[in-house]
Amino acid sequence: MDKTSLKTNANTLSEESVLNWQIIQKDFEKSFGTEVYSSWLKNILLVKEYNHYVILGVPTRFFRDWITSRYADKILSELKKHKLSINRIEFKIVGKEKLENGIISPDSNKNKIMEMKDSILNYNRLNNNLNFDNFVVGQSNKIAYLSAKKICTQLSIYNPLFIYGGVGLGKTHLMNAIGLELSSNNNVMFISAERFMYQFIKSIKKNEMVSFKDFFRRANVFIIDDIQFIRGKEGLQEEFFHTFNSLFDKSSQIVISSDRPPNKLDRVQDRIKSRLSGGLVVDIGLPDYDLKLNILRKKIEEFQKSFKEHPNLSDEVVDYLAKDTKSNIRELIGVFNRVVAFSKMSNRPLNINDCKIILKDVYNSIKIISIDKIQNVTSNFFSINLDEMLSQRRSRPLARPRQIAMYLAKKLTTRSLPEIGRKFANRDHTTVIHAVKTIDKLSKNDEQMRKNIEEIKSIILND
Ligand code: ADP
Ligand code: MG
Question: pLDDT of the chain along its 463 residues, tens only?
Answer: 444 333 333 333 456 677 888 889 899 988 888 877 877 888 888 888 888 888 888 887 777 877 877 788 889 888 888 888 888 888 888 765 554 443 333 344 455 555 566 565 555 578 888 999 999 999 999 999 999 999 999 999 999 999 999 989 999 999 999 999 999 899 999 999 988 888 888 888 888 888 888 888 889 999 999 999 999 999 999 999 999 999 999 999 999 999 999 999 999 999 999 999 999 999 999 999 999 999 999 999 998 888 888 888 899 999 999 987 667 898 899 889 888 888 887 788 888 878 877 776 665 545 568 999 999 999 999 999 999 999 999 999 999 999 999 999 998 887 899 999 999 999 999 999 999 999 999 988 999 999 999 889 888 876 6
Q: Which ligand is nearest to the CA of 225?
A: 2
Residues 206 and 277 in one domain: yes
Boundary (domain end) residue, out of 87, 104, 121: 104
CATH of the domain at 48: 3.30.300.180
Could you tell me if 335 and 458 lie in one domain? no
Query: How many contiguous H segments (helices) and E segments (strands) does the chain have?
Result: 22, 8
Distance 183 CA to ligand 1 centre (A): 20
* Alpha-carbon dihedral angle through residues 37, 43, 44, 48, given to the nearest 10 degrees: 150
Classify residue 137: in a domain, yes or no.
no
Give me the residues paired with residue 191 across strands. 224
Q: Which of 74, 104, 134 is the last residue of a domain?
A: 104
Q: Any idea what the CATH number is for the domain that residue 313 is in?
A: 1.10.8.60
Q: Using a 6 Å cutoff on CB, does residue 168 contact ligand 1?
A: yes
Are both 348 and 296 inside the same structural domain? yes
Residues 82 and 18 placed together within one structural domain of the fold: yes
Domain presence at residue 88: yes
> Ligand 1: does its nearest atom lie under 6 Å from the Cβ of 400?
no
My answer on whether 296 and 252 are in the same domain is no
The DSSP 8-state label assigned to residue 135 in this structure reads: -
Q: Are residues 160 and 254 located together in one domain of the fold?
A: yes
Q: 219 and 189 in contact (C-beta within 8 Å)?
A: yes
256 with 293, same domain: the answer is: no
264 shares a domain with 193: yes
Under DSSP, is residue 349 helix (H, G, I), strand (E, B) or coil? coil
Mutual angle of helices 193-205 and 234-249, in 10-degree steps:
100
Mutate to test the pocket of ligand 1, among 133, 173, 300 (most ligand atoms within 8 A of CB): 173
The reply to whether ligand 1 has any atom less than 6 angstroms from the CB of 196 is no
Helix, strand, coil shares of the chain, percent, nearest 5, are 60, 10, 30
Total tally of structural domains belonging to the chain:
4
- Ranges assigned E (strand) in 238-390: 253-258, 280-284
Residue 13 lies in a domain: yes
Q: Residues lining ligand 2 (ion), CB within 5 A?
A: 171-172
Mutate to test the pocket of ligand 1, among 130, 284, 330 (most ligand atoms within 8 A of CB): 330
Query: Could you tell me if residue 128 is inside a domain?
Result: no
Structural domain including 331 reads 289-364
Q: Which of 307, 329, 364 is the C-terminal boundary of a domain?
A: 364
- CB 286 less than 6 A from any atom of ligand 1: no
> Domain for residue 130, yes or no?
no
CB 438 within 8 A of CB 403: yes
